[in-house]
C-alpha cells in the first residue's frame, strides 16, 4: 500500500483518493484473482502462482539487485552512515561486507543453480503442467524480474548526454530536507545547497 500511494502524484485524481479507498480497490482485485484458487482446480492455480511469482528465483533476482544498488550505486559507506543516524550507533562492518560481497554472490550463485537445474512444474509428482501453463508461469515471474532492467534502460534513454554522463546522473544520490531529521543542526548548512538554488528535495538514486 505504501508503494502504491507513493507512486500516485498527490495532486492527481488517483493521488487524491484516500488510503482506505486504494486499499479497498487492491483487496477487491486480489479477491477476484484468489477466487480462481478456491475452485475445484484451485490448487493447480495456487501452485503456479506460488512457484513462479513468489519463488526463490524472482526473490533472489530482486535481492541481488537491491544489494548492488545499495552497496555500489548509493554506496555501502553512505548507507552505513544513514543507518547509524537512525539507530544511534554504527553497525558492525560485517553488514557492509554482506551488502557488498557476501549476499550478492550467494544470491547470484543460488539463482544460477535454480536456472541450471530448472525442471518443469509438476503437482504431487503426478501431474505435469501443459506448455501454456509454463508460459503463464514465466510471464508471472518476468513481470517482476524485468522491471529492473527495463526501468534502467528507460531511464538511460530518457536522459541527455553521453552514456557515461547519463549513468553518472542517474546514479548520483540527491540529499533532501527529509534527511535532516537524522542530522545534527550544524550539518544542515554543509549538506543543503545555498538558499535560492534549485534542489530536488526527495532523495533519489533514480535507478
For 31, phi then psi, to 5°, come to -60, -45
pLDDT in tens, the chain (207 residues): 777 777 776 666 665 677 788 888 889 999 998 898 998 888 888 888 888 887 778 888 888 999 998 898 888 888 888 888 888 888 888 999 999 999 999 999 998 898 888 888 888 878 888 888 888 888 988 888 888 889 889 988 888 888 888 888 888 776 655 555 545 444 445 445 555 544 444 444 444
Say what the pLDDT of residue 167 is: 85
Say what the pLDDT of residue 204 is: 43
Say what the pLDDT of residue 134 is: 87
Handedness of CA 139, 204, 86, 69 (dihedral sign): positive
What is the DSSP track for 3-71? HHHHHS-TTSTTTTS-HHHHHHHHHHHHHHHHHTTSSTTHHHHHHHIIIIITSHHHHHHHHHHHHHIII
Say what the pLDDT of residue 104 is: 93
Residues 38-60 as b or e (16 or more Cβ within 10 Å = b): eeeeeebbebbbebbeebebbeb
DSSP, collapsed to helix, strand or coil, labels residue 123 as strand
Say what the pLDDT of residue 149 is: 87
What is the DSSP track for 66-87? HHHIIIIIIIHHHHHHHHHHHH
Say what the pLDDT of residue 28 is: 94
Distance, in Å, from the CA atom of 124 to the CA atom of 60, rounded to the nearest integer, reads 25
Long-range contacts of 137-146 (CB under 8 A, 24+ apart): 137/48, 137/51, 137/52, 138/52, 140/48, 140/49, 140/52, 140/53, 141/52, 141/53, 141/55, 141/57, 141/58, 143/53, 144/53, 144/58, 144/62, 145/57, 145/58, 145/61, 145/62
Cell triple for residue 21?
479507498
In terms of pTM, does the model score above 0.75?
no
- Other beta carbons within 10 Å of 86: 9
Amino acid at each position: 500500500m505504501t508503494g502504491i500511494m507513493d507512486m500516485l502524484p498527490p495532486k492527481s485524481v488517483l493521488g487524491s483518493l484516500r488510503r482506505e479507498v486504494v486499499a479497498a480497490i487492491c483487496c477487491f482485485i486480489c479477491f477476484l484473482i484468489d477466487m480462481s484458487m478456491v475452485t475445484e482446480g484451485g490448487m493447480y492455480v495456487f501452485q503456479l502462482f506460488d512457484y513462479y511469482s513468489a519463488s526463490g528465483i524472482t526473490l533472489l533476482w530482486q535481492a541481488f539487485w537491491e544489494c548492488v544498488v545499495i552497496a555500489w550505486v548509493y554506496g555501502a559507506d553512505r548507507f552505513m552512515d544513514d543507518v547509524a543516524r537512525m539507530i544511534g550507533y554504527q553497525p558492525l562492518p560485517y553488514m557492509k561486507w554482506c551488502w557488498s560481497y557476501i549476499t550478492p554472490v550467494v544470491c547470484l550463485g543460488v539463482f544460477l543453480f535454480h536456472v541450471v537445474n530448472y525442471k518443469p512444474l509438476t503437482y504431487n509428482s503426478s501431474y505435469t503442467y501443459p506448455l501454456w501453463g509454463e508460459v503463464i508461469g514465466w510471464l508471472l515471474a518476468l513481470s517482476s524480474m524485468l522491471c529492473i532492467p527495463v526501468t534502467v534502460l528507460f531511464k538511460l534513454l530518457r536522459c541527455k548526454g553521453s552514456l557515461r554522463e547519463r549513468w553518472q546522473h542517474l546514479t548520483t544520490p540527491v540529499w533532501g530536507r527529509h534527511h535532516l531529521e537524522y542530522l545534527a543542526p550544524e550539518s544542515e548548512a554543509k549538506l543543503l545547497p545555498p538558499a535560492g538554488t534549485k534542489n530536488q528535495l526527495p532523495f533519489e538514486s533514480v535507478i
